[in-house]
């Protein structure tokens, strides 16, 4: 086979065992222990099911313990192979990994040559634990079509098990009938690479300079290590909340090693800017009618750790947590159980608050385990009246929706919100337009087949997550939020980024457009015409209320239908009206005008030392008269009840005396 010299730093990208670009049919093995440990499971970062022995185990494992075992990958084309990355078996029950191995290459899968290190067969260092990926660079990069990993030694108390990725560059071959096939990519001219903190900041600044009229960069706080949490705002009037214009947010990088969301949001900034300048009517309308906020890196400290290792060598968990070791997706206040506990002990559960549940006191103390990143996001949520959001994660292909936390700490249980139907709609909108999720022939990522649920699932039905951002957002603010698991690979190689952008582009856009579904309006004072803040908007048969923003505007996400809506605010007489939501993604306008209660008007006049007008005096007299009549009726009913009880008691005494 021809040999080409490359510097160690310029080794080729992965073939795609982890990303699933390499099909199961391209992977074979000398033997395998059972179906669940077959060659198709020998993929880098493959995760196992909890039960050992099921169909979805965490590695390829050979059936025999000898040096004649191998895992073979067919690259389909002539390929310049430059390296192998190896990992042990993912299992909570077994310890299995390969400690040393050889590499063999072939053009026909019949005649094999062992990779040489000078005049001797090269022996590559493998693993010393289950999870840490180890890179083995070929001493001389070599062109072939097939490659085999041939284990030589393994953990003494285990067996031959491995997960792998192969590094290789496709080579032009005039005899290859598939050589003219177009490599998948993107036509959008975006900066497709992984950006560290400094590069991310530079890119955001460049977008702001290209589109100064529709962008603004601001920070919401700092990470534990002092890195700023940057947000890009995209709107036709950046820096200002416009009356009636909904606020939308995307959050990425909550887990620092789940890097795809970060890059997608950086892509999205560039795309919205360039398409707006081109006059793309869909994008112009979206930016004109929506205030968009993009937080690409909620956990920049964790990302920097994963970035240092690189996309294939960071493993499954390196950089997931903050510098303090906190999982941000479990770090928000658990408001679910506060609400559920209150409902259980209440005489009337419908009277228990179902929204804007306050942060518990224990969470506000100085010694509470609350990450600075979490505090920053909570303050951000309270400053801006967000309507809709999505939290971008990675490592699976599914969209989850609240509640994430289950009742009574069940490990898995469907736990719907009062808005379950709309949340299912939101999740379906993203999943059905995602090019991979929507593909019925796609392979499952690890061990769960989410296609059985149309690629959406209630968070609690998947696994319970107390203190999630989604649940907190729903119960503490007006904002509806889902979690999107963007791809099987948490940290895709840079070569995969254009493909992943195309997979997610339409989903990212159409999901933002859902912020305009349902009803919206302004709650105003009848006399002053001023907006009323914190007015409660209650939709009949929906046990989740929302509140108006500082200017009195509100947005209530709803599916198409007819709704009875009641609005009330402290000191005002409630107002009721019927609101209709159509099938188009356009909000139905439902404004409300509230009149102050006579008592409230009297309080305000007296506070100012003014004279009570005659109409108010008449209203107060009528109110007192109504109260008097109501109290009289209540007293009469109580007296009648007491009289009847007295008569019943006398009758029972008379009967007992005759007996």
Residue 532 domain-assigned?
Answer: yes
The pLDDT tens digits for 394-445 are: 999 999 999 999 998 889 999 999 999 999 999 999 999 999 999 999 999 9
Residue 462 domain-assigned?
Answer: yes
In the numeric block, which tokens belong to residue 637?
Answer: 């009913």
In terms of residues, how long is the chain? Answer: 659
**What CA–CA distance (Å, rounded) separates 164 from 45?**
8
Give the helix/strand (H/E) hosting 429. Answer: helix 420-433
Residue 392 domain-assigned?
Answer: yes
pLDDT at 175: 67
Of 139-143, 378-382, 628-632, minimum mean pLDDT range: 628-632
- The domain that holds 534 is classified in CATH as 2.60.40.1120
Final residue belonging to a domain, choices 487, 516, 545: 516
Q: Identify the residue whose tokens are 């009742």.
A: 407
450 and 556 in a single domain? The answer is no
558 and 645 in a single domain? The answer is no
435 and 553 in a single domain? The answer is no
Environment class of 112 (CB within 10 Å of its CB; exposed 0-12, middle 13-18, buried 19+): middle
217 and 243 in a single domain? The answer is yes
Residue 368 domain-assigned?
Answer: no
pLDDT at 3: 43
Residue 276 domain-assigned?
Answer: yes
Residue 250 domain-assigned?
Answer: yes
The pLDDT tens digits for 166-180 are: 999 999 876 666 555
486 and 533 in a single domain? The answer is no
Residue 16 domain-assigned?
Answer: no
pLDDT at 656: 78
- Tell me the pLDDT band of 280, cut-offs 50, 70 and 90: very high
The pTM is what?
0.88
The pLDDT tens digits for 204-263 are: 999 999 999 999 999 999 999 999 999 999 999 999 999 999 999 999 999 999 999 999
Integer Rg of the chain from CA: 31
Q: Identify the residue whose tokens are 């409660």.
A: 536
Q: Which residues contact 293 (CB under 8 A, 6 or more apart)?
A: 231, 232, 233, 234, 247, 248, 249, 250, 384, 386
The pLDDT tens digits for 37-63 are: 999 999 999 999 877 667 889 999 999
pLDDT at 617: 64
| Number of other residues whose CB lies within 10 A of the CB of residue 290 | 22
Interior angle at CA 78, CA 72 and CA 80, nearest 5 = 85
474 and 620 in a single domain? The answer is no
Per-residue three-class SS string for 504-556: HHHHHHHHHHHHHCCEEEEEEECCCCCECCCCEEEECCCCCCEECCCCCEEEE
Tell me the average pLDDT of the chain. Answer: 92
Count Cα neighbours of 305 within 13 Å in the Cβ-side half-sphere. 20
**What CA–CA distance (Å, rounded) separates 301 from 223?**
7
Is 323 in contact with 372 (CB distance < 8 Å)?
no
89 and 148 in a single domain? The answer is yes
Give the helix/strand (H/E) hosting 294. Answer: strand 291-295
pLDDT at 5: 41
Q: Which residues contact 389 (CB under 8 A, 6 or more apart)?
A: 248, 249, 250, 251, 473, 479, 480, 481, 482
Per-residue three-class SS string for 125-155: ECCCCCCCCEEEEEEEEEEEEEEEEEEEEEC
Q: Identify the residue whose tokens are 């030392």.
A: 609
Environment class of 332 (CB within 10 Å of its CB; exposed 0-12, middle 13-18, buried 19+): buried
250 and 165 in a single domain? The answer is no
160 and 231 in a single domain? The answer is no
Q: How many domains does the chain have?
A: 4
Nearest-10 Cα torsion for 399, 403, 405, 410 = -90
Final residue belonging to a domain, choices 516, 541, 565: 516
104 and 61 in a single domain? The answer is yes
Closest Cα to residue 90, out of 29, 18, 152? Answer: 18
**Torsion sign across C-alpha atoms 433, 435, 436, 440:** positive
43 and 143 in a single domain? The answer is yes
- The domain that holds 133 is classified in CATH as 2.60.120.260
Residue 1 domain-assigned?
Answer: no
| pLDDT of residue 269 exceeding 50 | yes
Question: Known catalytic residues?
Answer: 485
- Tell me the pLDDT band of 7, cut-offs 50, 70 and 90: very low
In the numeric block, which tokens belong to residue 351?
Answer: 């009277």
Domain that holds residue 65: 24-170
507 and 526 in a single domain? The answer is no
- Tell me the pLDDT band of 181, cut-offs 50, 70 and 90: low
């Amino acid at each position: 086979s021809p040999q080409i010299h490359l510097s160690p730093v310029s080794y080729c990208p992965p073939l795609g065992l982890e990303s699933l670009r390499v099909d199961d049919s391209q992977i074979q093995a000398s033997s395998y222990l059972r179906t669940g440990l077959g060659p198709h499971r020998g993929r880098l970062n493959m995760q196992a099911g909890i039960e050992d022995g099921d169909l979805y185990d965490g590695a390829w494992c050979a059936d025999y313990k000898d040096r004649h075992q191998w895992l073979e990958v067919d690259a389909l084309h002539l390929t310049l192979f430059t390296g192998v990355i190896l990992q042990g078996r993912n299992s909570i029950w077994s310890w299995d990994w390969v400690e040393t191995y050889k590499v063999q290459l072939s053009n026909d899968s019949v005649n094999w040559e062992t990779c040489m290190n000078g005049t001797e067969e090269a022996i590559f260092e493998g693993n010393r634990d289950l999870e840490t990926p180890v890179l083995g660079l070929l001493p001389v990069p070599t062109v072939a079509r097939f490659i085999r990993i041939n284990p030589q030694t393994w953990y003494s108390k285990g067996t031959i098990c491995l997960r792998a990725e192969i590094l290789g560059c496709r080579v032009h071959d005039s005899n290859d009938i598939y050589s003219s096939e177009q490599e998948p990519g993107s036509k959008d001219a975006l900066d497709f690479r992984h950006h560290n903190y400094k590069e991310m900041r530079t890119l955001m600044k460049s977008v702001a300079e290209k589109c100064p009229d529709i962008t603004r960069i601001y920070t919401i706080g700092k990470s534990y290590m002092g890195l700023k949490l940057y947000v890009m705002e995209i709107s036709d009037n950046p820096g200002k909340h416009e009356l009636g214009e909904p606020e939308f947010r995307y959050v990425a990088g909550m887990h620092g090693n789940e890097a795809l969301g970060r890059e997608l949001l950086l892509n999205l900034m560039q795309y919205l800017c360039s398409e707006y300048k081109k006059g793309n009517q869909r994008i112009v309308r979206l930016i004109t009618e929506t205030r968009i906020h993009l937080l690409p890196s909620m956990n920049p400290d964790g990302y920097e750790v994963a970035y240092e290792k690189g996309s294939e060598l960071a493993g499954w968990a390196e950089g997931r947590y903050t510098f303090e070791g906190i999982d941000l997706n479990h770090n928000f206040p658990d408001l679910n159980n506060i609400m559920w506990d209150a409902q259980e002990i209440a005489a009337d559960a419908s009277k228990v608050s179902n929204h804007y549940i306050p942060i518990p006191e224990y969470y506000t103390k100085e010694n509470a385990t609350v990450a600075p990143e979490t505090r920053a996001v909570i303050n951000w949520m309270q400053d801006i009246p967000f309507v809709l959001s999505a939290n971008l994660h990675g490592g699976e292909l599914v969209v989850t929706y609240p509640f994430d936390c289950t009742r009574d700490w069940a490990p898995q249980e469907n736990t719907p919100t009062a808005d379950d139907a709309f949340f299912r709609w939101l999740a379906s909108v993203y999943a059905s337009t995602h090019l991979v999720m929507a593909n019925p022939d796609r392979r499952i990522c690890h061990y769960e087949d989410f296609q059985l649920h149309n690629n959406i699932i209630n968070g609690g039905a998947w696994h319970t997550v107390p203190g999630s951002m989604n649940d907190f957002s729903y119960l503490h603010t007006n904002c509806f939020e889902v979690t999107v698991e963007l791809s099987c690979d948490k940290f895709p190689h840079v070569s995969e980024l254009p493909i992943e952008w195309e997979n997610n582009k339409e989903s990212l856009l159409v999901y933002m457009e859902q912020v305009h579904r349902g009803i919206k309006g302004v709650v105003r004072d009848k006399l002053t015409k001023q907006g009323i803040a914190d007015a409660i908007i209650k939709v009949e048969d929906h046990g989740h209320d929302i509140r108006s923003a500082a200017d009195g505007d509100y947005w209530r996400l709803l599916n198409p239908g007819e709704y009875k809506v009641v609005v009330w605010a402290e000191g005002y007489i409630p107002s009721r009206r019927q609101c209709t939501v159509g099938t188009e993604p356009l909000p139905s306008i439902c404004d409300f005008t509230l009149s102050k209660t006579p008592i409230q008007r009297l309080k305000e006049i007296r506070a100012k030392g003014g004279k009570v007008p005659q109409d108010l005096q008449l209203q107060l007299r009528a109110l007192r008269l109504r109260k008097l009549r109501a109290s009289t009726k209540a007293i009469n009913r109580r007296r009648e009840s007491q009289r009847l009880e007295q008569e019943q008691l006398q009758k029972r005494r008379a009967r007992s005396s005759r007996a």
